[in-house]
Amino acid sequence: MKVAICSDHGGYELKMRLIPFIEELGHTVFDFGCYGTASVDYPDYAFPMAEAVARGEFERGVAVCGTGIGVSICCNKVRGVRCALCGDVLSAELTRRHNDSNVLAMGGRIIGVETGKAIAAAWLGTEFDGGRHEGRIAKITEYENRDNE
Ligand code: RB5
C-alpha cells in the first residue's frame, strides 16, 4: 500500500522508527514532515497529509505527535478521513474492522517504539469487516456531506 506519514517534533522520533518498519512490511511510505526535532505546529503537517489521503493519493495515513491527540483532531476535520488514535494493538485492529479508519494517530510521548510498531503492523494488516458496520460508516459520510448551515 501507499502510506502517508507525518509528525510534529513530539512525534518525530517515533515516526523515524516507524518509516523503515512500515517499509519492511512491504509498503511504500511518503513522509510529509516534519523533518527534525525543532518545535513546529502539528496542523501544518497533519492537514496536508490527511488531505492527500482524502484525495486518494495514499490508501492510508499515519500521524504522530506528542500525545497523538492534536494530529487526530486535525485529521478528523478533513472530509473523508476517519482517524483513530490508538495506544494499543486491540484498538488498532478493531478500528480497522469496525470503523474502516484510513488514518492512524499515535502519541510519541505516550507509547514506546515497540508498541508503536505493533500498533502500526496490526492496523496496516487488518481489513474492514463490512456488513453491519457499513451503514454506520455511511452515516458518518452522510453527516460530513450535509449542507452546513
Ligand atoms: C507539542 O508540544 C505537543 O503539544 C504536540 O506534539 C501534541 O501532543 C499535541 O496534541
Please state the domain extents for the chain: 2-145
Q: What is the pLDDT of residue 24?
A: 98
- Residue 148: what pLDDT? 65
Reduced to 3 states, what is the DSSP secondary structure of residue 2? strand
Q: 141: which 3 cell numbers? A: 459520510
Ligand 1 center–CA 80 separation, angstroms:
24
CB count within 10 Å of CB 62 equals 30
Q: Which residues line ligand 1 (CB under 6 A)?
A: 8, 10, 42, 65-67, 69-70
What is the tens place of the pLDDT at every residue in 102-111?
Answer: 999 999 999 9
- Which atom number of ligand 1 is nearest to the Cα of residue 8? 6
User: Which CATH number is associated with domain 2-145?
Assistant: 3.40.1400.10
pLDDT of residue 83: 99
The residue contributing the CA closest to ligand 1 atom 3 is 66
Helix (H, G, I), strand (E, B) or coil at 103: strand
pLDDT tens across the length of the chain (149 residues): 999 999 999 999 999 999 999 999 999 999 999 999 999 999 999 999 999 999 999 999 999 999 999 999 999 999 999 999 999 999 999 999 999 999 999 999 999 999 999 999 999 999 999 999 999 999 999 999 997 65
pLDDT tens for each residue of 37-70: 999 999 999 999 999 999 999 999 999 999 999 9
pLDDT at 39: 98
How far does residue 1's CA lie from ligand 1's centre (Å)? Answer: 28
pLDDT of residue 147: 78
- Give the β-pairing of 103-107 and 83-85: parallel
